[in-house]
A = this chain, B = another copy of it.
Amino acid sequence: MGVLEQPAAAAPAPYRRIAAELRARIASGEIRTGEKVPSVRQIAQEWGITASTAGKVLSVLRAEGLVRAVPGVGTVVAAAPGGAPGARTGPPPGRVNGTRPLTRDRIVRTAVALADARGGAALSMRALAAELRVPTMALYRHVPGKDDLVALMADAVFAEAGLSGSAPAGWRGRLEAVARHQWSLYRRHPWLARTVLPAAAAGLMEWAVSPALRQGLEPGAVPRIAATVASYVRGVAVSLTDGPATPDLDPFFTFGLARLLDGVHTYIEQRPAEP
């Protein structure tokens, strides 16, 4: 376990944990589109849980559209939605004797999936290599070391999805949208909050404030407002991984965000005279 690092992330319910593990196997390419995921019976046996819990696991993944039931066959990995690039069916062109080539991108994606599934503390170079079924030292031909890998993971996650939907025109709507977006990233990837954050995290937040410049906001206030909101979101996110006893922080997050935006509103509206 990491120095000064507590048991990462509250222990989730078994069906959630197992669903996350299967999600990781699918994300890493271990189980590919059209291939069968373990059956209810197999899951129950492998993880030592009851069939009804195992059934819950598959229904979670089905609800996400990640797998689908094929009558007479079993549950298989569904095609990636929207035909996103990188979501291919079957082996890629460059493959050699059945194994896909090891790339930096595949390493990073698998590392993210592993940290999501088993917690940040469970991510080790050895465990990652085992997941990818390559020798540990093979990773070092693609990433300089673990710290850099973690930085790449953070980059990848912040780049993974922009804001969904159209961006509001006003600063308040934008700031709230970006804050909620980052909050959802932290919830999906709890290890992220304790990581060194990429510059991208601050950039999007600053963009959100920019409409207020037309209202006469001093330019120097933009990075401060951005940092304030980003810090708040990250602070709640860090608490998210404080331990198993952590309460549901979603209502807390929403409440605090509203207070914070009210305070920014007061600041922008009164446009203080002093520099």
Contacts and interface: CB of A to CB of B under 8 A. Distances in A.
Contact of A236 (B235, B237, B261): B235
Contact of A231 (B191, B196, B197, B236): B236
Given A235-B233, A255-B228, A263-B263, A242 B4 contact: no
Interface size class of A (residues with CB under 8 A): 35 or more
A34 interface: no
A151 to B, nearest CB: 8
Interface string A105-122: 000000000010000111
Interface in A251-275: 251-252, 255-256, 258-267
A136 interface: no
A89 interface: no
Most interface-central of A147, A193, A238 (chain B CB within 10 A) = A238
Question: Chain A binding site: helix, strand, loop or mixed by DSSP?
Answer: helix
B195 A4 contact: yes
A194 interface: yes
A3 B239 contact: no
Given A195-B4, A263-B262, A239 B231 contact: yes
Interface of A: 1-8, 115, 120-124, 146-147, 150-151, 191, 193-197, 221, 224-225, 227-228, 230-239, 242-243, 251-252, 255-256, 258-267
